[in-house]
Structure 1
Amino acid sequence: MFDNLSEKLDKAFHILKGHGKITEINVADTLKEVRRALLDADVNFKIAKEFTNTVKEKAIGQDVLTTLQPGQLLVKLVKDELTELMGGDVAGINLSGNPTVILMSGLQGSGKTTFSGKLANHLKTKRNKKPLLVACDVYRPAAINQLHVVGDQIGVEVYSELGNDNPVEIAQNAVKYAKEKGYNVVIVDTAGRLAVDEEMMTEIANVHRALNPQETLFVVDSMTGQDAVNTAKAFNDRLNFDGVILTKLDGDTRGGAALTIKSVVNKPIKFVGTGEKMEAIDVFYPNRMAERILGMGDVVSLVERAQEQFNEEEARKLQKKIAKNEFGFDDFLTQIQQVKKMGNMKDLVGMIPGASKAMKDVEIEDDAFKHIEAIIYSMTPAERTRPAIIDMKRKNRIAKGAGRKIEEVNQLMKQFDQMSKMMKMMQGPGGKNLMKMMGGMKGMK
């Protein structure tokens, strides 16, 4: 995400390379490029100018700290201002009320229905809630069907009323149903339109008035840039919503919406969607996003995702296997599956400091491990448990069964052997250690 912005900001900071002190001249040149990078990212001109002026005021005349070069100092100042621009502190979600009512709003195509499912899944798995999804898009039967499909996928009930074209009634009935059945969160998916219009605004305002929800969230496609910000303002003027959801942040987004929506509507970004899977939802941390934009990675989020997938008991068992030289391909396959659950590979690489820059020309796909998995699945149970028995005859059979070349099997065997030896010398949670080793497998296509 934000690859173009990150690259242009990096080039801007290179102007200060070799200087011993920040001066008005060299900082002006750098910030001119920073402002240009922000404008290219579809940031409003006024906001971009105010941003660079603030950074300039803080930077001028500052002596370089003993541990910092001028470029590093300016990066820190830009990071701090980016953090403030995107909201400063992380904003939580209000889960008071019995049940908590969350109203989803946004334009058609913003990803509102899908994100309603993601939010329900997040609250169910991470917050131990019992959510109910409510289909209030009475104009598009496909939207109701889509919500039911999403609900089935995550094991969450969907409330809908076929034949009723009154979204206010449906929403009110759904809240009554939730109270009767013991649901403690009600997520109401409303109708969207292709553009802001008075009819749509009046309808959702009526639903909002009738429900008096604890949370009203505006869902916006982050790839629409300044158009998203303008739409957010129109919705906020009518609904006074509580927070923003940015979807499709894993796409080729320029970043304008993420960087400026807070300053325009003065409402925090609460969650972001980072992929198609129901698990692809993250709480929005302005400081972490600023660090990622500046190529610093996001180690904290990476560790948090790893901790969700790798439990301590499994890690202890794995360490015992490694110590006894019993680590096999089945164990490796399990680790691959757990890494895949952490999110799409491009997003994970972006969390590693410096990795995005180092691998900017490398195409990282979600199915990066599929050829490795095919080779392992082509092995017999005995071969997976005891890789040492795999001779040339077995390698040929494995390659044929996987539809891969014998060279690829040899490469995997060699890398697996090297990894097994290195893992014996490693300490700490199995997930974190294996993540380092996975990098060595990227050469397999």
Structure 2
Amino acid sequence: MKVIILGAGIIGTSTAWHLLQLGHDVTVVDRQPDAALETSFANAAQISVSYCEPWANKHAPLKALKWMFDKEAPLLLRPHADPQQWRWLTQFLAECNDRSFARNVQQIVALGAYSHSALKAVVAQTGIEFNRLERGIAHFFTSDEAVQDAQMAVDLMRQYGVNRRMVSTEEFLKIEPAFKPYAAQIKGGTFTESDESGDARVFTQKLAQLCAQGGVQFLYNHRVERLNVAGGAIDSVTVRATAAGADSSPRTLQGDAVIVACGSYTAPLLRTVGLNVAIYPGKGYSATLPILKPEAAPFVSCIDDGNKLAMSRLGNQLRVAGTIELNGFDSSLDSPLAKARCHMLARRIEELMPGVCDTRLPEQGGNPQFWTGLRPATPTNIPFIGRTKIGKLWINAGHGTLGWTHGAGSGKAMAELVSGRMPDMRFGFYGFESDSKRRAAVAA
């Protein structure tokens, strides 16, 4: 079978790899000059089955209102006269209850466990190195209320087989001593030994290289111009080269299946053929900081729960990432708001572990690598993996902040679905009977 994949992030590349293993002829199209140069480029680096709480919970609406005018808030809503944003928000609010939360957690955990197993299999088969640290993921909390909420989340996740456990402040600091300077503010934590961390960009680019060696064709620097539908099915995809000096004439690609894995840009692309998927960009930020004191820097990937910031060591650098900003397709780093959010990341690291990293800003002589990416968010935090109502047109998008965690499994599941097989996990695959209870449905 000839399969065309639109998008070469972790989702699209993982899908290509697994399709290749099943013997398919695969072509991947991406507008960038290499794989993983957009959403997968500089994320939090966590592979976290345990940190699977959906954004939509009973506390979210009040918190979002309270944070609306705080430039450094973990969740920041910037309202636009955009019907897609308001449609997404309406569906999000409908998920902000305990019943929906528990249902969504079950599916997110199922995909996470399946994906972690798939990732381990890919690494065992390929030997890819990506600054991997198999040391677990620890959270810390700075209020008694947050500790109580964490206990409820831990109890819920343990029902689904996630071995996340509560730890005291003392045990948390034994797990990761780097936070001892901040010990007085830490009220407790959680720890999941089976979670890990690693560089998503490095992994994805190396996997793409192996795909290419195996016969997958990558059309980098190509923009998708049009999805061509005829007789109720996808007929072809029109693309155009964008690199300087390249032939920019439209090119038509035909295949037996087309998979859209374009992250946040999946929704506007599918709207051109009459499909409305509830995927909206959630702008996230990261800072990658040089480590000055290697012996004092964390080895265990950690989450500052109060600020919703994740920290992961990548060799001689520390990656700190987080925040969600619902601000349309804005990907700027030079606006006053973006600068404030970037500066907050560096400042927070200095508060937590003074002098361990070079947290100076550029104007102070520092060299932090600030980055922003658009996370393809769904109201449920459950991605769309499956088939659309248009024949031969498939979707693998909407992974939010968990694209790295869910990447390998989403690619494997997509490859199996396209091949006529049902993946072995309890998950509502889009367009299949098991999807009937999903709230983030496609409107015809």
Q: TM-score, normalised by structure 2?
A: 0.25
> Per residue, is there more strand in 1 or in 2?
2
Structure of greater Rg:
1
> Per residue, is there more helix in 1 or in 2?
1
Q: TM-score, normalised by structure 1?
A: 0.25
Instruction: With a CA cutoff of 8 Å and minimum separation of 6, indicate the structure with the bigger relative contact order.
Output: 2
